[in-house]
Each structure stands twice: as C-alpha cells, then as structure tokens.
Structure 1
Amino acid sequence: MRLRRSLAAAALGTALGLGALTVPAHAAQPVGDWSPASAAQPGKARVDDPSYPWAFVGYYYWNEDCLKAGERGQELRKWSRYQCINGSWVPGDDYELWVIWN
C-alpha cells in the first residue's frame, strides 16, 4: 500500500513539475513583441527598425503614463516619434519610452 502511494505521489509530482516547466515557455514573449497599445499607434516605426535612430528616455510603471509622456514630448516638439514597449520579461510590469529626437 505504501509503495503504491509513493509511486502515485512520484508520478503526480513529476507531472506537475513538467507541467510547470512547460507553461512559461508558452507564455514567454518573443524578442521584439510590443504591447498592444503601442503596436496600435498608426504611423509609428518600431524600435527594432534600424533605419530610425531610437533613443531610450525612461521607464514608466503604467502604460498610460508612458503614452502621455510620449504625446507630451511630441506636443513640445522634443521628438518626432515615440514608442512605449514592454520593458520587462514580465508582461505589463513596466514600460520603456523610446523616441526619435527632432
């Protein structure tokens, strides 16, 4: 009886352990995957596009704050384009503001 419980517990532990290892692989975002809000901005070039000289400005905790800072800089004509991208391995953890200076 103990052997049967031990084998069942070992099988369950192995299945749970392997399942936990495979979940992050499916949830991981590939390099260059941008947040939906920044990807939906019309006329914005992507940060990984080598034809544009992108410069990093700063980190923002909320995507809305990043977008507001980008819009504000455009209104003040500090930069011509901006992009808010996911700045962490954890989606939605923080956002990076990248700009093309005027």
Structure 2
Amino acid sequence: MENFKDIINGEKPVLVDFFATWCGPCKAMTPVIESLGKELQGQARVLKIDIDKNEMLAGQYGIQSVPTFIIFKKGEAVWRQSGVMDKSALEQQIRSFA
C-alpha cells in the first residue's frame, strides 16, 4: 500500500482535498473531486484526506479551514486554496502542473 509521501513524491501532480465529513462545502465539492479524479486518470492523481482521521497530516500542512486543496508536484506543495471552487478552475490549476 502506498503512503502519502510516496504518492506526493511521484512525477504526476497530486491534488489533495483536505475535507471533513461534517463540512457542508466539502460535501458540495465531493462530486467535483470524484469527477476530476476520473477525468484526470493517468495525468494526475486526486486524493481526499479526512482531517479528523488524519490530524497529524492536517497539522503538518497547516490546514485551518476545509475544504483546502493543495497540489503537490514531486513532493512540493506548488498551489493551495481553501473554500469551494469551480470545477473548471480547479481542473485548469491541476493541468497547469501536468
């Protein structure tokens, strides 16, 4: 099984969605994130990280509000934004690092 560090250190960009199950905006973004994961298969990876189940990881990346999206490229956080986002804007960001 791959761990988080292995995944974000890969060649392909990785979109990480830091979310919480109790968060309304996070629930609204779920279909968008799932759709992007399917559409970008082979070009980028998409991960969802539940901040309540992964408190250390959320703390390590300074997650203070959810949803927070971070794009990693070769282990480095290259882009970050919090809050609900338009699918096309999010897709454009990921593709810019592919």
Bin of the TM-score, shorter chain as denominator length: under 0.3
Which has more radius of gyration? 1
Bigger strand fraction: 2
| TM-score, scaled relative to structure 1 | 0.27
Q: Which has the higher contact order (CA 8 A, sep 6+)?
A: 2
TM-score by length of 2: 0.28
